[in-house]
Amino acid sequence: MLLNYISLSSVGPPSGLRRSARIVVSKADFEGKTVVVTGAGGGLGSAIVALLAERGARIVGCDQSAEALASPHIASRHVFNLLDRASIEAAIPTLLDKDGVPDVLINNAGWTRAETLTALTADKIEQELDLNLTGVMNFADPIIKAMAASGAGSVVFISSVNAISHFGNPAYAAAKAGINAYAKSIAVELGRSGVRANVVCPGSIRTAAWDHRLAKNPEILGRLKRLYPLGRIVNASEVAEAVAFLASDRASGITGAIVPVDAGLTAGYLPFIDDILGA
């Protein structure tokens, strides 16, 4: 088995003794396992696919177009639209017949308009909820029940910090809060059937999706960084690492967890300390 070792050491007492901790990440964490990833062609989805494939997974990629699934890391491909219930219902038996009941399901697909409360309309609310909650549940539910029937399964949902605190985008936030609740219901009700369910809540992620914003306003990233205790936003690879851990057997005792990967955004509001307490 190939292993990656990351050595973390700190200087000890004056005698020069050193204490070291070693984090071991196996390149075979997912060897022999089938992993379904939705939104597999997006910025975060691509990072998740590449990382899990590197660690031995057979990747079943799902997206709304065949072009999005061109990655050589993807072994099997399925195209459907989360806004189209008929296409979801057609895709599920095809996936299960072709690829079997997966060991891991990563529910990553999602999208938002980033609307404010005053800009919301009934149509916009419906689309946000249909795509980010209803569509996700319609796809995940029969697969998760198949996992439970088989006696094992690990499910990871990509939610958002918007489900934890308010950063605008109310319809999207409501949908993602629903995802968090859905994951907990799976953890509680299907735990004795061997199914774990956890949630990763990213903050802003530095992907290609930011390019058009930066083109319009090159200063926006600098202003955004001020809000984050780490002084930056996260990279897709950092979110993918959290997903990989929760999906793997290394997290076998973790279920129902909501894990922010947000450079500290939801821990507290640093500008309040800088501007008010420091004034």
**And the tokens for 163?**
């489900």
For the annotated catalytic residues, the residue numbers are: 172, 176
Rounded percentage of the chain residues whose pLDDT exceeds 70: 90
Instruction: Place 109 in a pLDDT band, splitting at 50, 70 and 90.
Output: very high
- Residue 15's CB is within 10 A of a number of other CB atoms, namely 6
pTM of the shown model: 0.87
H-helix or E-strand spanning residue 212: helix 211-216
Q: Using the predicted structure, report yes or no on whether residue 197 has a pLDDT greater than 50.
A: yes
pLDDT at residue 278, rounded to an integer: 66
> What is the rounded average pLDDT of the residues 218-244?
91
pLDDT at residue 24, rounded to an integer: 58
Extract the runs of DSSP E, i.e. beta strands, from the chain.
3-11, 18-26, 34-38, 58-63, 74-79, 104-107, 153-158, 195-202, 205-206, 234-235, 258-261
Mean pLDDT, all residues of the chain:
89
**pLDDT greater at residue 45 or residue 1:** 45
pLDDT at residue 1, rounded to an integer: 33
> What is the rounded average pLDDT of the residues 188-194?
99
Which residue from 193, 35, 41 is spatially nearest to 106, judged by alpha carbons?
35
pLDDT in tens, 146-171: 999 999 999 999 999 999 999 889 99
Does residue 77 form part of some domain? Answer: yes
Does residue 4 form part of some domain? Answer: no
Does residue 22 form part of some domain? Answer: no
Does residue 18 form part of some domain? Answer: no
pLDDT in tens, 20-59: 444 556 678 999 999 999 999 999 999 999 999 999 999 9
Does residue 78 form part of some domain? Answer: yes
Q: What is the CATH number of the domain that holds 33?
A: 3.40.50.720
Q: Using the predicted structure, report yes or no on whether residue 67 has a pLDDT greater than 80.
A: yes
Does residue 229 form part of some domain? Answer: yes
Q: How many domains does the chain have?
A: 1
Domain with 160 in it: 29-277
Does residue 13 form part of some domain? Answer: no
Phi, psi of 25, rounded to the nearest 5 degrees = -115, 120
pLDDT at residue 45, rounded to an integer: 97
Does residue 265 form part of some domain? Answer: yes
pLDDT in tens, 260-279: 999 999 999 888 887 777 65
Q: Using the predicted structure, report yes or no on whether residue 6 has a pLDDT greater than 60.
A: no
